[in-house]
Copies of this chain bind each other. A is one copy, B any other.
Amino acid sequence: MDTLETRELRYFVAVAEELHFGRAAERLGMAQPPLSRAIQQLERRLGVCLLQRNRRGVRLTGAGEVLLHEGRAALDATVAAARRTRRAGGADSPGGPRNRLVLAVKAAASHELLRKLLDAYAAEPDSAEIEVLPCGICEQEELLRDGRADVALMHTPWNSLAGFDSEALTTEGQVAVLPAGHPLTARETLSLADVRDVPDLPLARWPTHGTYAPGPGPEIHNQTQLAQLIALGRTVAVVPDSARSWLWAEHTAVPLTDAPPVVTHIAWPAHSRSLALAGLVRTAARL
């Protein structure tokens, strides 16, 4: 009577994202009419108008926006359930599942810490196998939510810890990375204002949740690309202290006095009850 089926949520989210029945149907691999009908049924069952059909496109109502957000969360939870169940599948005897844990890490971030963590955890008795899943800049939240990962290393203020349990591991300052020999490298320290408006060196832009903030600087996709652009004297970047480990000879790092500190956390879905995860977190907290 009043329970939404996953299928209906999938359909609605597709339509709400495309704002176009035809394209949504194509994306779902079905014809448009049954999709229209399914959405109508959904609206009737909920007793709520979700979409405002003006000829020439579709708009979300307030209730539609709510269902889009809540429905996405619910869909994530269901695919996470399927994935985690499959993952737990191989080992079976209730005694020793010998779980695998998938750990999501921003590529090249917190490398030292990660190495220490993996070594320390492997030395524990009964440690599970850890699969390291390298991911993009802000992808960890999504990976945890949809079950592709069980635990992640996150970095505030870039990642949001909302909805996860977490434990802070380390705090570090940030540095400006400049081309070696640039006039600013003569200074002992810099402020954010100093590097934000260098005329010849626009500040590099990282994607936040897949999109780039507008600005003059180049759009950076990975660390190597960034290193190269800095070495070529085309840009300047603000990165955590620990990034010094991958700097080149053509780079110079200058500490920033007023950049927000970067805190590395280990984070996991709040409802998690895995013993292996608990062990990993305990190990991390002791580092």
| Partner-B contacts on A (CB < 8 A) | 2-7, 9-10, 46-50, 59-63, 65-67, 69-71, 73-74, 77-82, 84-86, 88-89, 91-94, 97, 99, 147, 162-165, 269-271, 273
Contact = CB atoms under 8 A, between A and B. Distances in A.
Contacts of A82: 2-4, 46
B6 A73 contact: no
A273 B163 CA distance: 13
Given A66-B88, A162-B270, A163-B270, A5 B3 contact: no
Given A46-B85, A86-B47, A89-B47, A59 B94 contact: yes
Contacts of A85: 46, 48, 50, 63, 66-67, 70
A88 to B, nearest CB: 4
Given A4-B78, A62-B92, A69-B271, 9 more contacts: A3-B6, A46-B86, A48-B86, A49-B92, A65-B94, A70-B81, A74-B74, A77-B78, A163-B270
A210 to B, nearest CB: 17
A74 B81 contact: yes
Q: Which 6 A-B pairs have the closest CB atoms?
A: A163-B270, A48-B89, A70-B81, A74-B77, A162-B270, A62-B97
Contacts of A162: 165, 270-271
A73 B2 contact: no
Contact of A71 (B3, B49, B59, B81): B81
A252 B225 CA distance: 70
Nearest to A99: B62
A247 to B, nearest CB: 36
Given A62-B88, A63-B92, A92-B62, A78 B3 contact: yes
A63 B46 contact: no
Contacts of A4: 6, 78-79, 81-82
Q: Quick one: which of A46, A67, A81, A270 has the most chain B CB within 10 A?
A: A81
A74 B78 contact: yes
26 contacts: A3-B6, A3-B10, A4-B79, A9-B81, A46-B85, A46-B89, A47-B86, A48-B85, A62-B97, A63-B85, A63-B88, A63-B89, A63-B92, A66-B88, A69-B271, A69-B273, A70-B77, A70-B84, A70-B271, A71-B81, A74-B74, A74-B78, A77-B78, A162-B165, A162-B270, A163-B165
Contact of A163 (B2, B59, B70, B271): B271
A280 to B, nearest CB: 17
Contacts of A77: 70, 73-74, 77-78
B59 A84 contact: no
A269 B93 CA distance: 35
A42 to B, nearest CB: 9
